C-alpha cells in the first residue's frame, strides 16, 4: 500500500521506516528542509539502534522516500499519518497548531477520499477537531475519515517495539477506515500475533494517555516506596522483586531511581492532568505522581549535599546524560536538572555519556566531556550515576577507586550491590536501600 507520514520526528520516522520494511511504499514528509536533506544523505536526526540501516535498505529498495512538500504527500496516498509535534504549552496543555496545520493543508488540496490518522500523542477530541477543520477547509463535498492510532514504541527499542507491538489500537468511525488500517498492519499482526483493537476515536486517544500515565504512576509508586525503605531499613529491590512476581503487578517499571524523564512521560502526564481539568475532573492521583517525581530529584540532591558538605570546588563526575540508555535524547533528563544547580554551586564538573554527549554539548559547550567512565571519574571527589548505561555497570570498581580523589558514589539507578561497595570501602548511596 502507499502511505504518507507527515512529521519525521521519533514516531514518524520509525513508523514510516517500519511500514516500508513490512512492504509498503512510504513517503515521509517534513517541512524542515535540513532534516529531509539529512535523511536523503542517510544521516539520522535522532539516534536509534538499527534505524540508519533500515532507512538505507528501504530507500535503496524504493519503498521509502522523503519530501518537504505536504501537497506531494497528499497526492501520494489516500492514507496520511499525522506524526507532527505536540509540544507542551504554558500550562502543560499540548500545542496543537502543527496538527491543525496539517489538517488544513490536506483539506485544501484534497480531490478524493483521504484517511487522516492521528499518530502523535494528542488530547482527547483531537479527532473531532480535525474533522471540523477538514470539513471547513474542503473546497467540495469529498468523503474523508479520521482515525486515531496511538504509538507505544520506546526510544532505544523503537524498531523492535514498532514491528512487534503488544497491541495495535485504532480509533475509527467507519468500516472503510478500519479496513484500510487493518490492511496496513496485516504483516505486523501476522508476525507478532498481537491484537488489533478497534474502538471509537476518543477511546483510542484516551488509551494512549492512560497507558503512559499509568506507567509513570508505577514508577512514582515504587519511588515513594523507596523513600519508606530508606527510613525503615528495607531494600527496595527486594520489595520490588517480591511485588513483581505477582503476575497482576509484573516486574516491569518497578525500578526505583532518580525519577522518570524523556520526551513522553513528563509531557504526557502534564497533558493528561490538563485534559482532565478541562473536563472538570481534578486528577489528584496524577498530580501526586508529578510531585513524587520532582521530590525524587530533590532527595538525590540532598544525598549529594550530605556527602560533600560543601559543593564549591569539589570535582563531581557525572556518568550518564541521556534520560535512559540506548538513546541520545536528553529531554527532561535528570542530568539537565542537576548540572545547572551544581554549576551554580561552583562545583567542577566532569561528564560522560556514550551517545548523548553531543546533544548535551550543544547546551553546555564549555563543560568537560570524557571518553570513558574511568577517565571521567579520575580525580573526582564523587561520582553521580544518572543513567543505567551498561558501560557504567561493567566498570572495574577497583580501578575506579584507585583513580578517584575520594571513593564515593551516589547511584541514581541502583546499579551496584551495596555490600560489595562496603567490602571495597567505597562510600556508596543508592535509592531505597540501606547501606
Residues that bind ligand UGA (CB under 6 A): 121, 151-155, 212, 215, 219, 253-255, 257, 260-262, 264-265, 268, 323-324
For residues 207 and 122, what is the distance between their CA atoms, to the nearest angstrom? 11
Least separation in angstroms between CB 415 and ligand UGA: 12
For residues 173 and 131, what is the distance between their CA atoms, to the nearest angstrom? 11
Nearest Cα residue to 99 out of 74, 123, 65, 66 = 123
- The 3-state DSSP class for residue 169 equals strand
Question: Which distant-in-sequence residues (6+ apart) come within 8 Å of 423 by Cβ?
Answer: none
Q: Based on CB atoms, which residue is closest to ligand UGA, 99 or 254?
A: 254
Q: Based on CB atoms, which residue is closest to ligand UGA, 176 or 303?
A: 303
For residues 406 and 421, what is the distance between their CA atoms, to the nearest angstrom? 13
Least separation in angstroms between CB 252 and ligand UGA: 7
For residues 215 and 121, what is the distance between their CA atoms, to the nearest angstrom? 15
Q: Active-site positions? A: 264
Least separation in angstroms between CB 254 and ligand UGA: 6
Q: Based on CB atoms, which residue is closest to ligand UGA, 236 or 308?
A: 236
Taking only Cα atoms into account, the Rg of the chain, rounded to an integer number of angstroms, comes to 24
Least separation in angstroms between CB 112 and ligand UGA: 32
Q: With beta carbons less than 8 A apart as the criterion, state whether 62 and 52 touch.
A: no
Least separation in angstroms between CB 109 and ligand UGA: 29
Q: Based on CB atoms, which residue is closest to ligand UGA, 76 or 185?
A: 185
For residues 282 and 277, what is the distance between their CA atoms, to the nearest angstrom? 5
Q: Based on CB atoms, which residue is closest to ligand UGA, 333 or 421?
A: 333
For residues 68 and 71, what is the distance between their CA atoms, to the nearest angstrom? 9
DSSP state string for 82-101: E-----B-TTS-B--HHHHH
Least separation in angstroms between CB 51 and ligand UGA: 14
Q: Based on CB atoms, which residue is closest to ligand UGA, 77 or 121?
A: 121
Strand order in the sheet with 368-370: 368-370, 348-352, 315-319, 382-385, 408-411, 427-429
The C-alpha cell that represents 147 in the structure block: 482515525
Nearest Cα residue to 314 out of 245, 236, 383 = 383
Nearest Cα residue to 106 out of 83, 84, 134 = 134
Amino acid at each position: 500500500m502507499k502511505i504518507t507520514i507527515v512529521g519525521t520526528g521519533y514516531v514518524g520516522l520509525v513508523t514510516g521506516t517500519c511500514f516500508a520494511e513490512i512492504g509498503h511504499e512510504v513517503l515521509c514528509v517534513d517541512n524542515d528542509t535540513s532534516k529531509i536533506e539529512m535523511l536523503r544523505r542517510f544521516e539520522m536526526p535522532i539516534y536509534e539502534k538499527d534505524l540508519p540501516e533500515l532507512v538505507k535498505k528501504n530507500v535503496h529498495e524504493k519503498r521509502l522516500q522523503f519530501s518537504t512538500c505536504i501537497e506531494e504527500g497528499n497526492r501520494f496516498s489516500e492514507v496520511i499519518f499525522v506524526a507532527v509535534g505536540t509540544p507542551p504549552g504554558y500550562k502543560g496543555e499540548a500545542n496543537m497548531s502543527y496538527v491543525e496545520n496539517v489538517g488544513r493543508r490536506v483539506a485544501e488540496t484534497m480531490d478524493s477520499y483521504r484517511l487522516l490518522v492521528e499518530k502523535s500523542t494528542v488530547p482527547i477530541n483531537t479527532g473531532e477537531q480535525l474533522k471540523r477543520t477538514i470539513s471547513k477547509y474542503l473546497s467540495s463535498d469529498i468523503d474523508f475519515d479520521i482515525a486515531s492510532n496511538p504509538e507505544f514504541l520506546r526510544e532505544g527499542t523503537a524498531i523492535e517495539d514498532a514491528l512487534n507491538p503488544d497491541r495495535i489500537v485504532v480509533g475509527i468511525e467507519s468500516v472503510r477506515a478500519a479496513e484500510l488500517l487493518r490492511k496496513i498492519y496485516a504483516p505486523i499482526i501476522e508476525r507478532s500475533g498481537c491484537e488489533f483493537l478497534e474502538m471509537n476515536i476518543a477511546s483510542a486517544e484516551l488509551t494512549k494517555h492512560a497507558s503512559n500515565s499509568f506507567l509513570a504512576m508505577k514508577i512514582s509508586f515504587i519511588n515513594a516506596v523507596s523513600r519508606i525503605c530508606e527510613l525503615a531499613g528495607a531494600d527496595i529491590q527486594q520489595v520490588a522483586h517480591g511485588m513483581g512476581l505477582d503476575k497482576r503487578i509484573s516486574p516491569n517499571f518497578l525500578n526505583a531511581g532518580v525519577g522518570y524523564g524523556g520526551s513522553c512521560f513528563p509531557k504526557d502526564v502534564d497533558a493528561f492532568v490538563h485534559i482532565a481539568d478541562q473536563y472538570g475532573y481534578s486528577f489528584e492521583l496524577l498530580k501526586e505522581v508529578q510531585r513524587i517525581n520532582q521530590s525524587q530529584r530533590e532527595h538525590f540532591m540532598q544525598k549529594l549535599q550530605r556527602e560533600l558538605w560543601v559543593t564549591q570546588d569539589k570535582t563531581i563526575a557525572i556518568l550518564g546524560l541521556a534520560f535512559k540508555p540506548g538513546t541520545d535524547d536528553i529531554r527532561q533528563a535528570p542530568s539537565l536538572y542537576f548540572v545547572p544547580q551544581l554549576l551554580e554551586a561552583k562545583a567542577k564538573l566532569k561528564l560522560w555519556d556514550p551517545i548523548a554527549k553531543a546533544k548535551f554539548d550543544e547546551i553546555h559547550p564549555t563543560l568537560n566531556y570524557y571518553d570513558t567512565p574511568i577517565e571521567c571519574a579520575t580525580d573526582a571527589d564523587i561520582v553521580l550515576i544518572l543513567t543505567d548505561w551498561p558501560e557504567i555497570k561493567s566498570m572495574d570498581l577497583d580501578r575506579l577507586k584507585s583513580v578517584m580523589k575520594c571513593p564515593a558514589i551516589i547511584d541514581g539507578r541502583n546499579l551496584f550491590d551495596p555490600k560489595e561497595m562496603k567490602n571495597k570501602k567505597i562510600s556508596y548511596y543508592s535509592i531505597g536501600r540501606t547501606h
